[in-house]
Amino acid sequence: MKIVTVTAEPQANYHFQDFPEHLVQGITHLVPDNTRIQGKSFLPTTDDLNILNDADLLVVEGGDFTDWTTRIAFLANSLNIPVVLTELAYNSAIPSENPLPELIGVSANSPYGAENYRKYLGGREDIVITGHTMLDSLPKWEPIDKTVLCLSSESLVDDGVALKESIALLEAEGYKVTVRCHPREDKTLWKGYNLSDGSKLLDELATTNFVIGVAGTAFSAVLAMGIPTVIIKESTADNVLPEYRNIFTYASSKDIVKMIATVKPYHKEDIAYITGTIGNACETIVSFWKSFI
């Protein structure tokens, strides 16, 4: 088995961090420049396009198709290599305006992800739902009183002003707030704040009392664990998971203390819509890929 993957963030493959090593053996990440890998690499990498010559499958990791993933997928089409699209990152629901490569299969994390793909791909229906890889090993939630995890984003519309205001108000009320930056985010924005020590997201969520921040892919784990959450609306770009507005509490930063105390629990239907089936996602995804080889 020889699988090549390309990602929407071409120099990074951190969305593979939850896959056990034995499941990703034989998978190589094709990047534009092998000297500029971003962060820890969870797959072997290469920038040699010749790797496609004897590949059995090309996996395109969602989000949306980019210039890089489109180029490589069309090249795979020309070489008669089957191409699949797998949602390991959030994909928009806006229909693609550009020609898309031929896809032999598509998988989504959840019913929510599948609905986005249907729209993005122009009505495609044969989408396999796998669950989220990050939810395969959920820890027990044992929150420490008055602790808050702030999940930031690489796309803050106000340079973090509203999140920082929220943190200040919470700390004035005796909350301990830890900021967890997005992998692509410039951490200098948070100089002087209590930053995450690099622990895994699930480990930090396991002990936090509340979550605030900007909704993104990581919030699938927040939902699955049932952690009370407030999205700070001034920091949220219009294109960041807008459907989440029906599930999470959105509030102005000035109201953060009041909203954390009154946030309502999630509905089971909302959780299932975002998370899909919880457990065994890594195995399901790799089995899906192998089914085309």
Residue pLDDT, tens place only, 4-44: 999 998 999 989 999 999 999 999 999 999 999 988 899 99
Residue pLDDT, tens place only, 232-264: 988 876 655 666 777 888 899 999 999 998 998
Let me know how many helices (H) and strands (E) the chain has, helices first. Answer: 8, 12
Contact 141, 227 (CB under 8 A): yes
Q: How far apart are CA 44 and CA 13, in angstroms?
A: 10
Give the pLDDT band (50/70/90) at residue 277. Answer: very high
Strands 127-129 and 105-108: parallel
| Choice among 83-87, 123-127, 264-268 with the minimum mean pLDDT | 264-268
Q: At what angle do helices 111-120 and 268-275 cross, to 10 degrees?
A: 50
Give the Cβ contact number of residue 283 at 10 Å: 16
Residue 51 confidence (pLDDT) above 60? yes
C-alpha neighbours within 13 Å on the C-beta side of residue 15: 26
Calculate the average pLDDT of the chain: 93
Give the pLDDT band (50/70/90) at residue 92. Answer: confident
- 182 vs 147, more confident: 147
